[in-house]
Amino acid sequence: MTSEFDLIRKYFTRPTAQTKLGVGDDAALIDIANGHELAISADMLVAGTHFFADTDPYELGWKSLAVNISDMAAMGAEPKWATLAIALPDADETWIAAFADGFFACAEKFKVDLIGGDTTRGSLCISVQIMGQVPSGKALKRDGAKAGDDIWVSGQLGDAALALNHLLSKYPLTDEELKQTLPALLKPQPRVNLGLALRNIAHSAIDISDGLLADLGHILKASKVGAELNMAGIPCSSVLQRHVHEPSVRQMALAGGDDYELCFTAPASRQQQLAEIAQHLDLQLSCIGKICESGGLIIKDTDGNNIEIGKTGFDHFAR
């Protein structure tokens, strides 16, 4: 019989590099650097809501941590520590071992220590809390966008939604197209280095988890400004571009969610610097529009006509 404590010791206890006291006591102890603020965020993944219950456990482990790290990236914070509260239907050790390997692969890549958590029996549910640090006053918030700012996004949007819609039998892709889009859904890459590089450059930032329009909408609301976007500037993969004439696919790029790219605003005087950052990080950065004094969120097509916006993004309770 495997006990809860065997599972914790065997699968969730690994050496920590930047922690005073990690897994094993009633609480963990951490030391944060002088002149820094602690950035804290949590994201929960529920089977059937956020992922298919039969999702590959390694990829699920990766994604559980990656989506949390993405919030640190969006704050311009350096991710450092995480806790993991997990409910498991049973002690399937093959599953748990693979989950832990995926989780720790992500933890190692982004230098995050797993310092504690909770393990219980229940319907599969994974709740991660992430902590990071940022020099005092330097965090990238949602409320700093100014009229005249350029609006930028990293990477490409819509592939995760496209792959998900295929898996839900809502939009058919060829095997090759699925192969190219699936990694965006299963193995998101949080943009930590970009967040750090933007600390003294961006006026505001957010990570795109619920869809570009919904998440940019949070910036607009917090900053009390409007925005005008150019559809042609929205960065999409070649697969998505092949289908973008379909309104449902255009909608996936604008509002699909699960992209985990950063959307940020910066003054036009920063364009050259941002081009250098893009090159240095080997990461596409696209200017997709401008912040305006007011007027809500408008999207223009290549002929300058307004594009009708349907749903702006994912909301668990909206109906």
**In angstroms, how far is CA 99 from the centroid of its own chain?**
19
Which residue type sits at 54?
D
CB of 117 to ligand ADP, least distance (A): 3
User: According to CB under 5 A, which one of 90, 118, 143, 293 is a site residue for Mg ion?
Assistant: 118
| Residue 117 binds ligand ADP, judged by CB under 6 A | yes
| Residue 95 binds ligand ADP, judged by CB under 6 A | no
Nearest to 235 by CA among 152, 298, 149: 152
- Cα–Cα distance, 239 to 181 (Å, whole number): 8
**155 is in the binding site of which of ligand ADP, Mg ion, none (Cβ under 5 to 8 A by kind)?**
none
- Cα–Cα distance, 36 to 29 (Å, whole number): 17
238: exposed, middle or buried (Cβ count in 10 Å: 0-12, 13-18, 19+) = exposed
| Residue 92 binds Mg ion, judged by CB under 5 A | no
| Residue 112 binds ligand ADP, judged by CB under 6 A | no
- Cα–Cα distance, 227 to 291 (Å, whole number): 4
| Helix, strand, coil percentages in the chain from 3-state DSSP, rounded to 5 | 35, 25, 40
- Cα–Cα distance, 199 to 282 (Å, whole number): 18
User: According to CB under 6 A, which one of 57, 76, 116, 155 is a site residue for ligand ADP?
Assistant: 116
What distance separates the 2 farthest-apart alpha carbons in the chain?
67
Task: State the DSSP code for 313.
Answer: S
**12 is in the binding site of which of Mg ion, ligand ADP, none (Cβ under 5 to 8 A by kind)?**
ligand ADP
| Residue 118 binds ligand ADP, judged by CB under 6 A | yes
**117 is in the binding site of which of ligand ADP, Mg ion, none (Cβ under 5 to 8 A by kind)?**
ligand ADP
Helix (H) or strand (E) holding 79: strand 78-88
| Residue 15 binds ligand ADP, judged by CB under 6 A | no
Sign of CA pseudo-dihedral 181, 182, 186, 187: negative
| Residue 25 binds ligand ADP, judged by CB under 6 A | yes
**26 is in the binding site of which of Mg ion, ligand ADP, none (Cβ under 5 to 8 A by kind)?**
ligand ADP
Strand partners, 42: 129
CB of 83 to ligand ADP, least distance (A): 7
Which CB sits closer to Mg ion, 118 or 246?
118
Residue for token pair 């220590």: 113
| Residue 127 binds ligand ADP, judged by CB under 6 A | no
| Residue 103 binds ligand ADP, judged by CB under 6 A | no
| Residue 246 binds Mg ion, judged by CB under 5 A | no
User: According to CB under 6 A, which one of 2, 3, 20, 24 is a site residue for ligand ADP?
Assistant: 24
User: According to CB under 6 A, which one of 55, 119, 129, 265 is a site residue for ligand ADP?
Assistant: 119
Site for ligand ADP in 26-45 (CB under 6 A): 26
Interacting residues of 94 by C-beta distance below 8 A, sequence separation 6+: none
Residues lying near ligand ADP in the complex (CB under 6 A) are found at 8, 12, 23-26, 84, 86, 114, 116-119
Residues lying near Mg ion in the complex (CB under 5 A) are found at 118
